[in-house]
Chains A and B, each alone.
Chain A
Amino acid sequence: MDDILEIMKTRRSIRRYKQQDVPDELLDKIMEAGRWSPSGDNAQPWRFIVVRNPEAKKAMGKIATEGSGRRFTAEYFTGHMQERFRGLKDEEKKAKAFKKLRSGAVSSFLADAPVVIVVCAKLDVWDVPYDAAMATQNMQLMAHALGLGTCVVVAPVSDMRDDIKTMELLKVPHGYKIVAPLAIGYPDESPNPRPRLSLEEIVYYEAFGERRKK
């Protein structure tokens, strides 16, 4: 049981990949992990589109870049971005981060991932987002266990304006939606763990806000 916790704790969101092909056998294992996820009524609403075509990935990357660029430009002009980065004292690094966010380049790596598995879901079930999100998480953990890196990139589908374009690009029919494009490849970076809230900060007992009685 410690092994699975170790896999969870060492997983990172990987945004830079080696230009090395990911064998089909490994992708099959990743999707097998998704297939065994829990779902309401055992509806199994997930469907997976494996995208290797460079043109399709490039188009998704463009949609993602534009979406993120709009969103972060808005965040910059309201001052919320500056507030979010208040802790970063290195002004040069801060300016670089702002530029990357405002240009949307933060999401453009989707085009460079060797493979993107687009997690879709059938809509005529009761628990679409929960089911599909659990499948995505299973797949991320499996990929990490196999030595692969992943990152969920919602930028091409979070906004309706972009979602429509991506659905058309991948020929996703009515009655289905895209939940999570998942970039996959061999990691070409090893990011440090991001800060985590402590259990004391997030756990209550019996009712929200109630701390453990000592």
Chain B
Amino acid sequence: MKIVAVRLALLALVLAAWELLPRHGIVNPLLLPPLSDVLRALGDQLLRPQVHEAIAVTAAEVMLAFAIAVPLGAALGVLIAESEYLGQVFKPLLFYVFSIPKSIFLPMFILVFGISFAQKVAYASFTTTFVVLMSAATAVESVKQDYLLVARSYGATRTQVLLRVYVPSMMPLLLEALRISMIFNFTGVMIAEMYASRTGIGHLIAGWGENFQMTQLFAGVIVLAAVAILFNEAVRWMETRVSAWRA
């Protein structure tokens, strides 16, 4: 309990600084508007239909991209983990892939899809697939050979091995993979929207930035941060529930 109290105190400190430093001119209020102004702008924005639309678009992109990337990445990841040959061919490549800024592929997606909903979804699923792939491969490889051996020696069929050994054993890692993948997914959608888009929250934020509408900008940042953190914590909570058996 003490730890939570200290964290809340730190948070309060940060929020207080955000309010007071600009108000008293210690920090330029044009660059960092006081928290209360930002919150007011937040309230205003949430009432505007334009903002609702943008939220809807972004949410749709995030969920669709995720829905595509997760099965695709998982399937590929399992394949690479299970097949010695494929593993040897592709695993070294994956390291290189992760070093490359995937945002460089955005122009290609724009060329193919134009500036559209499809382009953003395609780009985001593209970047997320790699992360899911990597996590899935790691999760599969994490299942101890011993567990499999025991199951097989008791005559478990392949399906039973899959459902009764692989899945429970991998569950914590899978949830972790989902959590991390969503972080990358969200980031991917944001980058695409900020780079070239006519809709979506990312686009709005980029616009507010260009026009120096700092209160709206910070309001947008706060909302997005809150959503991201909420989702993150929700999955973390699920992880702890599923991981009780782990050391």
Is B truly associated with A? no
Tell me the B residues contacting A by CB distance below 8 Å. Answer: none
Tell me the A residues contacting B by CB distance below 8 Å. Answer: none
